[in-house]
Amino acid sequence: MTNSLTITDNRTGKTYELPIVDGTIRALDLRQIKADAEDFGLMTHDPGFNNTSSCRSSITYIDGDAGILRYRGYPIEQLADSSSYLETAYLILNGELPTKPQLDAWVHEITHRTMVHENIKKLMDGFHFDAHPMGMLISTLSAMSTFYPQAKNVKDPAMRRLQIARLIAKVPTISAYAYRKRMGLPYVYPDNSLSYTGNFLKMMFQRADPYIPDPIMEKALDVLFVLHADHEQNCGTNAMRSVGSSNVDPYSAMAGAAAALYGPLHGGANEQVLRMLQEIGSASNVADYIRRVKNREVLLMGFGHRVYKNYDPRAAIVKQLAYDVFEVVGRNPMIDIALELEKIALEDDYFVSRKLYPNVDFYTGIIYQAMKFPVDMFPVLFAIPRTVGWLAQWDEMHNDKETSIARPRQIYTGYDARDFVPVEKRG
């Protein structure tokens, strides 16, 4: 066959022909390559899945070398410019953009599921006053599986879709409640007259006076939600699929995905960028900071990406979005440090040769800070829009006949068999 890989095992001299499908070989096909009859067979060793495909997906396409990101074939630039978050969520879930009646019905379905059970408030009241909002979100997501026991029927497509709508609707409410708990403020109920992001802003920032979301802030947050809706098989999505492969309910699986996002190498990256900019302090200090980066004294946060080896297409959109927000709240002085840092880094061969370009995290923290979101809410602001991506990937997984429970192999490096020694005889 022409679409195949021929491998010669130099241990035995035997030759094997493995089929190539979609630019991959099946890892299990390597098992036939054995040194002798007692040999287990070859495995691949790929910590971090650097070059291993774990699934087939038709949701998100990324070309990291070309700086391309598409949802269901649509460029992220077009969706950020012309679509809304809920319209993009419909696209990600269903594969096609909705008609006007479909979009109206979808928006109504989400808008009228935003209320959470009153016992959720009691649950959140049990957290300490300084509990991290992301920790509260993760715990509450897990607890929600007990409110919807029928959600465990994951083989029922209609039941899956019901839970998907519930989660997309309720995660902003839970997130806002976590913030209000953190701040010692009373919870604010959802307002069905507002948009998805407008309602979230009101639940966050309502005080004694009536709160009317600023249209520019509302739109900016909506665009940020579009940009973060899905991003292929990242750490959080891999966790969603891996946990979900056991056929657990989506609330428990999403708690696992959110826990993965909680890590500073994933959803906490924009917080690290903001702290770096605060450490630099002034645009005049950027050159010295760059020198320290080259000397490996400090890290350059917000540059480079596991996938993108070009300018992250989301970063360019967020950069422009920052100026829209500044028109409302005033210019964040951090932007001057960021611009100078980006300018020097993009002209310096040290960074260009390593393909270290700004990623989406580089400017999002600046925007969130300007919008008065506290730093510990940043990963929560990532989790809200990523909900639809996690759930779409989870739903796709359950429709994939190749899906099986995630159970990777290992290379054992411990002792061979040895005998137990009673405690009194141990040296």
Q: Among residues 202, 183, 184, which one has the least CA distance to residue 194?
A: 202
Mean pLDDT of the 44-56 span: 91
Fold type of domain 58-402: Citrate Synthase; domain 1 (1.10.580)
Residue 307 has pLDDT above 80, yes or no: no
Q: How far apart are CA 196 and CA 222, in angstroms?
A: 8
Domain ranges in the chain are: 1-53, 58-402
Percent of the chain with pLDDT over 70: 100
User: Is the model more confident about 305 or about 62?
Assistant: 62
Q: How far apart are CA 288 and CA 344, in angstroms?
A: 11
Record the tokens describing residue 48, joined without a space: 């971090």
Work out the pLDDT band at 17, boundaries 50, 70, 90.
very high
Residue 310 has pLDDT above 80, yes or no: no
Backbone angles phi, psi at 17, to 5 degrees: -115, 120
User: Is the model more confident about 81 or about 359?
Assistant: 81
Residue 414 has pLDDT above 90, yes or no: yes
Handedness of CA 192, 198, 188, 143 (dihedral sign): positive
Residue 305 has pLDDT above 90, yes or no: no
Work out the pLDDT band at 145, boundaries 50, 70, 90.
very high
User: Is the model more confident about 74 or about 327?
Assistant: 74
Maximum Cα interatomic distance, the chain, rounded to a whole number of Å: 80
Strand positions, DSSP E, 123-227: none
Work out the pLDDT band at 2, boundaries 50, 70, 90.
confident
Percent of the chain with pLDDT over 90: 77
Record the tokens describing residue 255, joined without a space: 């708690």
Residue 196 has pLDDT above 80, yes or no: yes
Burial 79-115 (b: 16+ CB within 10 A, else e): bbeebbbbbbbbbbbeeeebeeeeeeebbebbbebbe
Residue 1 has pLDDT above 70, yes or no: no
Q: What pLDDT digit, counting tens, does each position of 335-388 carry?
A: 889 889 888 888 888 888 888 888 888 888 889 999 999 999 999 999 999 999
Residue 209, pLDDT score: 86
Low-confidence winner among 186-190, 208-212, 263-267, 419-423 (lowest mean pLDDT): 263-267
Q: Among residues 32, 6, 262, which one has the least CA distance to residue 134?
A: 262
Q: How far apart are CA 365 and CA 273, in angstroms?
A: 7
Beta bridge partners of residue 70, listed in sequence order: 61, 75
Residues annotated as catalytic (active site), given as ranges: 305, 361
Residue 215 has pLDDT above 80, yes or no: yes
Residue 122 has pLDDT above 70, yes or no: yes
